[in-house]
Structures are given as C-alpha cells and as structure tokens.
Structure 1
Amino acid sequence: MTEFEVGSSTRPSTPPPRSGPSNLDLTPEQVKRIEINRLKAKAKQREREQTSLGTSYTNANNKRPLEVIPAASGSPTAPKPEAKLKRDSRLGKYFDYDLSKMVNSKGGFLLEDGKDMNDELRAKERERERQRAMQAMEPPVFLNKESNPKCNECGSIDIDPTYKTVFRCLVCNSCKNEKPEKYSLLTKTECKEDYLLTDRKCHGAELRDQELMPHLLKANPHKSTFANMMLFLRYQVEAFAWKKWGSPEALDAEYERRVAEKKKKRNKKFEEGLKELRRRTRETVWQRRKDEEHKHVFGQVERDPDGTSRQICHECGFSDAPSHQMESSQPSDALDLEKIDVNLYRSKHLWVPRRSRGVFGGQVISQALVAATNCVAPEYGLHCYFLLSAAPTPILYTVDRVREGRSYVTRAVRAQQNGKIIFIMLCSFQKPEPWQPVTQLPLPPHVPNPDECELIYERSVRLISAPDVDPKVKSYYEDYISERRSSFLSIKRAGVHTSGDGVKYWLYWYKVERMPVASVAMQKCILSYVSDSHFIGVASRTAGLDSTKEGAKRNSMTSDDFNCGDWMLYVIYAPSIGSGRGVVHGRMYTQDGKLIAVMTQEGVVRADVRAPVPASKL
C-alpha cells in the first residue's frame, strides 16, 4: 500500500517534505506566498464542507450554529421571500405608471414627418410675449405737440395709456386722482346693485357689451382661482344709467320699488312656508296644547282687611279676586309675604300706581329684600341690584343661597309670574364694621326744614282748586290724590338746588307714617320701598320730557342707624342723559345730615322725535 492510499481514509494533511534532493530552489518570499495560498484554500474547503452538512453540523457545544441559512437552501428554516404589500381598499382602483419610461405615442394619430407639437407651442408663446411687450411699451410721443392727445381736463399730454386703450378716455394721472367722483373705477357688483344694470349672459346684457360699456379685466384679489374682476369707469356708468332711467331720482324710485318687491316676495314665501308648517303640524300642536292645559288648584279662602275674599292657585299663583290697585295703609302690609316652602315666598298685596305700566317697583324690591333677609342671619347688612318690572298678579319669590362667608353673604332672588322669571335681584349682606374709617358727601347747602315745606298731597289739592287749571292736569292730580289719600308715605318737595357747575338736584323729604317698631333689616326693606318714589322721573325732568321707563337699579345701604319714621332727605340728580337712556343717582340722608343709602338707576328717556331719514345713495 502506498503512502497516499493510507492517508486517504483520514483527514487530509500536509505531507512531510521529501527527503530526496530537489532540483527547485525557492526564495523565502515564494515560500511565504505558497503557505498563505495554502491556508486560504483550506479555509474555503472548510466553508464548503459546513455548507454541505447544513443543520446536521454542530459546534463545540453540541448546538447548531447561529449562522444565516441562505435563501436558496432547501431547509424548512430558510428565510422566505418578503410578501407583497396588500393594496389599501380605501384607495380604490388605481394604476401605477413609471413616467420616466413612458413614450409619447401621439395618442394613436399619425402626424406628418418633421412637424413637432412643441414647435407650435413655442411659436404661440413667442407671439404672446411679443404682444405683452407691445402693451407694456409706452405710447409714442410726436415731436409736433398738436399731434399728441391731450387730457380732457387740464390739456396735459401725459395721458394714462390704460384709460386710453380700454375706456377710450383721455385723462392724465393727476386729474384721475384729483376727481375720483368722475374717473374712479366701479366693480361689476356695484354697477348691478347701485345703478341697476344687467349682467345676464344673454343678448342685451349691458355690462357684457364691450362697445357700450368698456371694462378693464383684473385678477380677483380675493382668490386667484376666482373669475377676473370687471372694472368700469364711473362717469361712463352714470351717463348710461341716467340715460336708461331718466334721472337720479327715477333710479332711486326704481331701487325702492325693487327693494319693496323683494321684501314682499320674501314675506310671501315665509308665510307660505309657515302655512305649510302649520298644516303639517296642526294635529301635533293641538295635542301639545291639550296636554299643557293647566287646571287651577285653589287653597283656602282668604279675607282681606276690606272684606274681599279670594282664593289663590298654589301652582301658578292665580287669584280669583281682582288685583289690588290701592296702596297699603301700613308698611307691614306692603311688605308682607307668605312663606310657601324653604327659600320660597309669595306676595300677598301689590300696588299698581294709576297710569302705570305695572306694579310699583319699590314694592317689588322691598318684598324681594324681605325674602332674602329671611334667609340670612340678622347681623348682616345688605346691597342689592335689580333688573325688571312686574305685573299686578301674585309673585313667587325664590331665594338661592349663593355664598356663605364670614363677612359677606350673597343671596339671589328670582320673582316668577305664570312660570316666567320677571325680576332678578342679587343681595350682598355684610356684617357692620363700625371701627373702619367713614367718609361721606355732605348735605346740599340751604336745604329747608321739613316743617317749612308743603306736602305734595296738599299741593295737589291746592292746584286743582285753581279756576284756570287745564282739564288734563286736573284729571291727573285727581287720580294722584285718590291713590295717595290712604298711603302711609308722606312726601314733601324741598325744591330744586343748582350747584356751581350747573347740575340740578331735586330734594324731597320722606317720612313713613304709622311706623311700627321694626328691626334694622325691616327698616332697610322699608327704605328700599321709599327709594323708588320720584326717582327715575328726575331724568325726564332734567331733559325736559315726561316719558321714562325703568331699567336696572342698584341700592347700597351705608348705615344701620336710622328710622324710616323720621324725616329723611332724598337728593336726586341725573349725571348722564343721551341716546334714549338716562342715569339717575340718589342719596338718602337723615335729618341731621348722616348718609344712610345710595341709589343708582338707568332707564329709557326718549323724546317724541323721529330718526332722520337716510339720504339718497347717490
């Protein structure tokens, strides 16, 4: 057996060097290169053996090697090719085109040889460029002055080329800017709405006739994709409009006729729609009304001091007795409330002054304050603010406990009639702090004492006894005397004081007759009743009018040491009147000059005049 055959059964190895003499003499560099090539060949052979063995080959730890299996391998663990992306159904049907590989096939048409479509486009573009360049060129100026066009206004040869080309109007830039009433540009909308010119895309449209009404096209400033603006020269539009309608007055008459006709058509369309809605919902509305019918549930019979009996519905407050029109003879009756539930009260007696739109506002304020005072501790003072007036039907007062604080307590009172809120008041009660500094406005100078003044009731009796009194004035004073005859409130007018700056102050003395012994809180409620008398009327007297309507009012009690049974001075003036509104400010003093309350109210003060007629649009 030879040496090669013995070694074939084992792993190949490098044979030992031959012992015999060799005819080849190698240099050290050649020997080194041969050894390197031999090691590279062995490494490649080892790699091929590992690839052929696959997963059956294990490493030194008896595990399969963590090498990447080629994709061409038949092993089940070989990596699979990536799946194609699924098409999103929301994109719908679409086709992919590679524009870089597309070839212009002429759309199936046969074109002449040597003729390209791009050449025609380039020729058209060059022609457009030439025309734009010619339009941008300034008009030529002749050496002979007589040959140059001149401005129609000043004779200048500096003519605006746009006006000359488009509108065939010879005018220079200076005259165009100095006379906008003649040479300004009007939009198509202004021509249609102000001058009633037509723009329909049909035969006879005036604004579409270039010969009749030349116009200038400009890009729309609102959006580039909108249609171009059509600008017309004002004096050309007016000349055509006067020729069409006859005169500016005839144009205004036609405009008013069209507006009235348009309004009539709009109202007719609305009425037809409303009639159709009623026809379709007639049965539903009838059923709803039937379901909302209210049946009164009356309580026990109550008798008033005058012997009148009445019953009140506990749900809506309706009374079967006629509403009271006379003022109470006692302040306790005017402020009396019936407690229905916690934070819920109802009025018992309401006074509607003669020739008045509703209940006396001071009574609503005082009753609301009584309801709010019943829901707070007695050591708190109060501030109040009210908005609306009331009707002469029983009023339900609901008190909301808004805030409970150490120094301030807030209550909101809502007055309701027939399920609707007709009065809102916000009360802020405060504990008195007498140790804090006190400042106040003094009394006006030269105020007469109450003994020196005449009761307004007696003054009214004296005025109607005059022989030459006007019948209307006499009727008014008779009504006033009849309702004040049983009133518990005595009023004396102390005159009108004019300050150094010309402000008029109306002075009144007030006193509550038959004043019972009452707490501080009840004194404030009675004072709020008094504060609404002769108050907002000062605004109309200051403006020389006799018509006012009450609005928002704010009362602020500044003192707890007063008695409504003593004479109190009411100082009233109107600091601001204008635009149909008037603001009235009042201060209430005791007889010795102590400020006890401050009142402010805003109301409607309007004269019997009409607004000016709007001038013509032209």
Structure 2
Amino acid sequence: MMSVETNEGARIERDPVDNAAQQLSAAQRARIERNRLQARQRREARLVQRHAEARAAAPADSGGGFLLDEHEPAPPPRARVPPAPIQDPAERPSCLDCGQRFPQSYLFDTFGYNVCDECRDDDGAHALITRTEAKSEFLLKDCDLDLRPPPLRCVRRRNPHGSRLGDMRLYLRAQVEARALDAWGSAEALAAERGRREEARARSKHTATARRLRALRMDVRSSLFANKRAAHEHSFGAEQYDPDSDQYSRACACGHVETYEKM
C-alpha cells in the first residue's frame, strides 16, 4: 500500500493497483475517442435539426420591397454520422498489422485505414501530424493532399494558438508517408530531394552570414577611418595657383586637397 498526504495534512492509503488501472490501453483510448466523436456528432446533428425546424416554423419573409438581411448567420454544418459496425464477418476489413478481421476501429472509421484498435500506435505510424508538418517533412504540396486521388482524410481540432487562425487539420502519418512515396516515386528520390534542399538552405545561410560579416567589416573600417581623419591635423604644403579656374589649392600629406579663392 502507498500513503498519500492530502492538502489538509491527512494521509490516505492508495493501492498501487489503482494507479495501474489509470493506464489505459490503446484500444481503450481509441474507444473513448470514438465515443467522444460520436457524442459530438450527435449533438451537432441535434443542433442542425433544431435550426431547420425553427426556420420551417418561422413565417416566410418575401422582403416586402426591402432588401433582405445579407448578414443572416449561416446554419451550422451538417454533422457526419459515424458508420455503424460491420456485422457480416466476410465483409469486415483485415488489420494491416495483425491480419485479424475487425468490425470497427477509430482509424478505419476516421481515416479509412485498415488497422484495428488493438494495433493502433499513437506514437509511431498512426500518429497525427498537422498539415504544415506533412508538407515540410514529406515535401508535399496542397494538391498532393487535396487533389491527388484519393484525397487524404483528416480530422479537425481547435487551434491552440487562437480561434482566429482556424481549426487545425490533422493527418495520419502512415497515409502521408505513403502519399509522399506516390508523389516522389521512391524513398530514395524523396531522400535525395531532402538532401538537395538541405544543401540549398545551408548555402543560403552561409551566403547571408558572409554578407553580414562583410557589411560589419565595412562599418568598422569606415568608423576607424573617420576617427583617424577627425584626429588628424593637416599639414599643407605650398599653395598652387590654377589660372584656368582662378583658384588656389594646397595639399596635405594625407591626401586631402583644399581649394580656395583669393579676393
């Protein structure tokens, strides 16, 4: 038994078995996630139904010669009803990892990916990555994700950086990796393109650093030259007269030439 001290100073006994029960398996987490999505979709479906009933019960507005309100809020999006479990054993998909047939799973219902809940790996190939990560890590374009058949399915999550940025679109890593192989032809071609882009970024970074160092050296030299000239006292030689311009000039040993006229 393990004792735990509460905020009031009292100590209670806790069984280590209770801590082990808190560690959920991948199948349990998948079942909880699927139930949460189904409850959310049912709630959105009820909102859609209520909105449609309210609009049907309201009297029709022909406008009466006036302009209708163009800023009327749009109805909430129609919720997607989750698919029911496949009852016929012969039609059930086979898991790509264990080979067993299963009637329903989170990855199959959400992404159309044939992996059962028991084999789901949230930290590996079945992890969810953002659209930005899919494009930068696997060198994909928007058309590769949205237009290349079949379009990759995704789930939307609220953006943690703010609601103004819109919802995040999360993709299944295994499907994104397979799409990258289709787009680039092979893993070798994808690795070669990654290397080429890394070299290009390194060259660009080196060029930018060299340019900044060169500008810094020029600033230092200009500052030293200006300070040297400011502290220098000119020692002019004999003046010379230029009859063409009717001007006099005298030069210092530092190279400075002073030109002037005499009244």
- TM-score normalised by length of structure 1: 0.23
- Max Rg structure: 1
More strand by share: 1
Q: Which has the larger helix fraction?
A: 2
